Structure 1
């Protein structure tokens, strides 16, 4: 993870992503579900989430919006433009909300059985 984060700019993004990886993602990687060792997909899980979070932070920076002042409209617009990142963004937003690095932000997902009705993912 650290080798990927070296290239992340600005520094505050790198530090935030490092903290997210250290306190939210690494414990999940290191916690064995059973006696099997961790697999490539476990590391891909973390990498995907870090990259999604970085994309969101970069997108906010391009709009001169710090994470601390980002609102639900920002999240919804980002997810609309990047729907492939919805699942990877959810843990990051829960973490930023829980650690008070952002307002309460959630990912919305449109249910296929109720098209047009937006439901929050919990």
Structure 2
């Protein structure tokens, strides 16, 4: 790949593709496995490939793609526990999932639900609740300078393992 003989391949894209069959094999319901495979093949992987063509896929992008698959799988099982399925899923089911799950879980499921609606695997009249975008207010100059002043001496500030700062710590394990 370095010499240009082989096309460049993104290692995180390969990692995702390598782990997908294991996830699919772990799904007990063949219908769920088929739905997740279709979703991964036609929605998640094309987006990862497009991202890899534009720039490198970061570990967090790869992790989010895996989380989308994980939450879509969990949603299908959750529907089964409610004695329903994706084809008969109603707005009450979507709303119940939204109230029972975290913002991250809802964000991860959003693409699956959009895909399911677009491909007519669930009712087209479903409404997916809007994402909440919350931003903290910016620190004032005094607050920012105060935080920067505490940074070198505050023992509660997490250090990245292997960074030069963490090697100065007396609690470092061998």
- Give the TM interval when normalised to the shorter protein: 0.7 to 0.9
- How many residue pairs align between the two structures? 113
Unaligned 5+ residue runs, structure 2? Answer: 1-19, 135-174
Report if aligned partners of 2:107, 2:131 keep a CA contact under 8 Å in 1.
no
Query: Which residue in the other structure is 1:87 paired with?
Result: 107
Tell me, yes or no, if structure 1 residue 107 matches structure 2 residue 124. Answer: no
Q: Check 1:92–1:106 CA distance in 2 against 1; reply closer, same or farther (3 A cut).
A: farther
- Does structure 1 residue 51 correspond to structure 2 residue 70? yes
State the alpha-carbon separation in 1 of the partners of residues 123 and 46 from structure 2. 24
Matched, 1:18 2:37: yes
User: What residue ranges of structure 1 are gaps of 5+ in the alignment?
Assistant: 114-122
Cα RMSD after superposing both structures: 2.0
- The answer to whether the 8 Å contact 1:89/1:107 transfers is no
TM-score by length of 1: 0.82
Normalising by the residue count of structure 2, what TM-score does the alignment of the two structures yield?
Answer: 0.59
Structure with bigger strand share is 1
Q: Which has the higher contact order (CA 8 A, sep 6+)?
A: 1
CA distance in 2 between counterparts of 1:99 and 1:109 reads 20
Q: Which has the higher helix share?
A: 1
Asked if 1:65 is matched to 2:80, the reply is no
